[in-house]
């Protein structure tokens, strides 16, 4: 029966991160205690005011189709947020689409700008889904490996050799999943120069923008005047507001491209959930203290997990600049293969992590550990790892 399946699906595998999550659920259902550092789901509850606004919307009967672009109040809140926080001038009526998840925003962005056979450069290590979505829309992902020993810095030397006559876009993610790197002005200069010289579209995934540490500043490349007409920005509510299950995101960018992307929205999902959008309005209009409280907790946990990993023989771990992942270098251990290392931890230490190889070239020899967990889970996991490796 596989003859009936599109050839595109033979180019992709199941999501490595969801595979880890499914394994954890199965083992826990069997009665095992697993320290789960594999996922990317904040352990905080969605702030109460956001939940209440969606609940009220449902009670009022706001449970039907809404405009495919999004409800006006949320579009206006997003436009204001993008202007104030990011320096992006995207009109609420024509420069933004509210989507059911940032992942769907990414999908319709790529579907809109790519033709069959176009190439997209992805600096790696990178989130596992980028490569898969590009294959699904019929284009070709081109992985540009960044140097772990240079802290995965984006350089012209790493990207330029991969540009061909088929290159259509560059996909960047800041803060980065899995490395925790935050885009610098120098790296933005590299991307801007290449995009201008080769007439490339920039897809900027900024889902972790509110989770940044040590006084660093988030840079939206689309805010640069010379890049405004060629940059599509993907963002959402999952990470900053602990709203992963709400599936609420948005795509913002030049009006002519957004007008075409709206067709993809209309012919796939129609619109994002009405009552979830009411929650999004409350998230953006409400106090920012709830976001800051979670960021400070992640900061404490980051230091806790990095200090713990640094004490484990054979493991090195640079300090994440953003997001809530530690990308630990295991090349100094007796099990430098990331898949074998992850399996060893799961069976011997009951700790779930994601193999670095899942994140593309440059990821091998590393594992990703999420610190979107309680202090106790992190401490217990690191102790179990150290004991198993000894």
pLDDT tens per residue across span 250-286: 999 999 999 999 999 999 999 999 999 999 999 999 9
d(CA 234, CA 17): 20
pLDDT tens per residue across span 164-223: 999 999 999 999 999 999 999 999 999 999 999 999 999 999 999 999 999 999 999 999
Q: Report the run of H or E that residue 252 belongs to, with start and end.
A: strand 249-252
pLDDT of residue 168: 98
Residue 294: CATH number of its domain: 3.90.1150.10
Question: Does residue 268 sit in the same domain as residue 329?
Answer: no
Pull the structure tokens for residue 356. 């670095």
pLDDT of residue 18: 76
Question: Does residue 193 sit in the same domain as residue 76?
Answer: yes
pLDDT of residue 27: 77
Query: Does the pLDDT at position 385 exceed 90?
Result: yes
Query: Does the pLDDT at position 142 exceed 70?
Result: yes
Pull the structure tokens for residue 285. 């209009």
Full domain range(s) for residue 166: 48-285
Using the 3D structure, point to which of 285, 317, 339 is the last residue of a domain.
285
pLDDT tens per residue across span 345-365: 998 999 999 999 999 999 999
Number of domains in the chain: 2
- Give the mean pLDDT of the chain: 95
Question: Does residue 42 sit in the same domain as residue 90?
Answer: no
| Residues 6+ away with beta carbon under 8 Å from 161 | none
Question: Does residue 114 sit in the same domain as residue 76?
Answer: yes
Query: Hey, is 231 helix, strand or coil?
Result: strand
d(CA 44, CA 222): 31
Using the 3D structure, point to which of 285, 314, 335 is the last residue of a domain.
285
Question: Does residue 23 sit in the same domain as residue 91?
Answer: no
| Residues 6+ away with beta carbon under 8 Å from 148 | 329, 362, 365, 366
Residue 378 — left, alpha, or beta (φ > 0 → left; ψ -120 to 50 → alpha)? alpha
**Half-sphere exposure (Cβ direction) of 303: Cα atoms closer than 13 Å:** 7
pLDDT tens per residue across span 191-200: 999 999 999 9
């Amino acid at each position: 029966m596989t003859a009936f399946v599109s050839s595109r699906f033979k180019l992709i595998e199941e999501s490595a991160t969801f595979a880890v999550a499914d394994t954890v659920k199965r083992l826990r259902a069997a009665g095992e205690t697993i320290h789960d550092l594999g996922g990317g789901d904040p352990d905080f509850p969605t702030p109460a005011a956001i939940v209440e606004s969606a609940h009220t919307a449902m009670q009022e009967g706001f449970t039907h189709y809404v405009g495919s672009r999004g409800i006006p109040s949320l579009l206006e809140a997003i436009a204001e947020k993008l202007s104030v926080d990011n320096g992006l001038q995207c009109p609420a009526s024509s420069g933004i689409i509210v989507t059911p998840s940032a992942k769907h925003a990414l999908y319709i962005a790529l579907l809109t700008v790519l033709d069959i056979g176009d190439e997209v450069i992805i600096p790696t290590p990178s989130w596992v889904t980028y490569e898969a979505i590009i294959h699904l829309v019929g284009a070709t992902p081109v992985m540009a490996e960044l140097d772990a020993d240079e802290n995965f810095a984006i350089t012209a030397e790493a990207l330029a050799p991969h540009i061909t006559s088929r290159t259509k876009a560059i996909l960047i993610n800041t803060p980065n999943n899995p490395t925790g790197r935050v885009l610098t002005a120098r790296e933005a200069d590299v991307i801007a120069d290449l995009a201008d010289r080769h007439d490339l579209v920039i897809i900027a995934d900024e889902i972790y923008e509110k989770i940044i540490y040590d006084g660093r500043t988030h840079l939206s490349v689309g805010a640069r005047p010379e890049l405004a007409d060629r940059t599509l920005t993907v963002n959402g509510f999952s990470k900053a507001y602990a709203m992963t299950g709400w599936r609420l995101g948005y795509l913002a960018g030049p009006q002519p491209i957004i007008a075409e992307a709206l067709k993809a929205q209309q012919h796939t999902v129609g619109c994002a959930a009405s009552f979830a959008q009411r929650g999004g309005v409350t998230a953006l209009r409400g106090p920012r203290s709830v976001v800051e409280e979670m960021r400070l907790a992640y900061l404490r946990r980051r230091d806790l997990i990095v200090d713990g990993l640094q004490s484990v023989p054979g493991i090195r771990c640079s300090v994440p600049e953003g997001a809530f992942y530690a990308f630990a270098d295991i090349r100094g251990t007796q099990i430098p293969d990331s898949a074998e290392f992850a399996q060893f931890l799961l069976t011997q230490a009951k700790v779930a992590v994601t193999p670095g190889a899942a994140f593309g070239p440059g990821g091998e020899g590393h594992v990703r550990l999420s610190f979107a967990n309680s202090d106790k889970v992190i401490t217990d996991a690191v102790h179990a790892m150290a004991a198993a490796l000894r």
